[in-house]
Structure formats: C-alpha cells, structure tokens
Amino acid sequence: MHIVDGALSVPVLVSGAVLSVVGIAIGLKKMDYDNLPLVGVLASVFFIASYIHLPLGFSSVHLIMNGLLGILLGWVAFPALLVALLLQVIFFGFGGLLVLGVNTLNIALPAVIIYYLCYKGIRSENPKVAAIWGAIGGAGAIVITSLMVAFSLALSGESFVLAAKAVLPAHIPIMVLEGFVSYAAVYLIHRVKPEFINKESV
C-alpha cells in the first residue's frame, strides 16, 4: 500500500510526517533492546511480504503483515516499519522519501490499534482462541490501513477520489490471506515460543 511521491498534498504529507515522528519516538521509548533480533525479523517479514506488489493507481496492492507486527511489537512497529519502508525506497524505489511519513503512519498506526484491540484475546491460554484473534488482527489491520490510504488520497484532491474508492475493495483478497497467515503464525508461536506474545514491554 505504498503511496507514491507526488500523489499527496503538502498538508497531508506534513501531518503524516509529524504523526509518524510521534509514533516512532514512542516506539523507541518502549523498545526493549534485548528484543532487537525479533524486531529485525518482523521488519524483514514486512519487507519481503510487500516486495511482490501490483500497482493500483497512486498506490499498490501487496501483503503487509502489519497486523502480526502489531500483535507482537505494539508501538515498536513504528520504528521497525520505518526502517523497512526506508530500505524499500532506497533499493527498489517503492513509495518515496517525501511520502515516507504518510506511508509509515498508514501501515504502523493500524498495527498499534490491532495491538490494543487484540491484546487480551491474543494472550488466551487456548492456542486456537489466540489464533482466531490473530486472524482478526491480521485482517483488521488491512481494513484500517486501506481506509487510511484511501483517506490520505481523498484529502489530497478530487482527482484521487476514484483511486481512493478502489483501495478497500482491491485489498479484500489480502485481508482474507493475511487473516489465514496470522492465524497460523499466532498458533505456531503459542505452541513454540509463547513468550514472544506474552511480553509486556511493548
């Protein structure tokens, strides 16, 4: 869901950058630096998952996995996703430097929202119940991100309204797929490494 440079108005770019800086600052403050390997792995998951993408007007359609990042990292998803998005700009030209703040906000804020919405459910002692909440988080993050991308485009002018309307329907298959992937990931983590979910530091 990378929005490209030149698509957004200056007020939207500035607002996105400011809010992203706030989120990144909170994420860095809450980060347990002993968990940096986990943060790096999850940032890599996003980096790889979103590498294969299809253009959609001024945005794109691809796997995001921000629901899973939010479930496991909370606010730390902000700096993790910033690094991944920045590397994608540098190496592949995805998005752009000017729109980096908005792209970070549109992907990381839903991750944080999912963290709080699924916090109790994901920590259920029953792995299947936790996995269901993981699926809800995975799909829900795509819904929120799609709406935020659409809102960003719509705020930038009438010429982007049509593209904004197409964002959510285009991501319905991604919602379903990420729901299944997040279900499997949370179930596996509960079985193999439950401490990744039970951490309170983020």
* Residue 75 and residue 27 in contact, taking contact as beta carbons nearer than 8 Å: yes
Q: Which of 37-51, 54-68, 136-150, 181-195 has the lowest mean pLDDT?
A: 54-68
In whole angstroms, give the CA distance from residue 123 to residue 15.
Answer: 34
pLDDT tens, 82-102? 999 999 999 988 888 999 999
Residue 59 — left, alpha, or beta (φ > 0 → left; ψ -120 to 50 → alpha)? beta
Q: Which residues contact 60 (CB under 8 A, 6 or more apart)?
A: 1, 2, 53, 54, 94
Torsional sign, CA 178, 127, 199, 34: negative
Q: What is the pLDDT of residues 22-68, one digit of tens each?
A: 999 999 999 988 889 999 999 999 998 887 766 655 556 788 999 99
What structural domains does the chain harbor?
A: 10-198 (1.10.1760.20)
d(CA 92, CA 48): 12
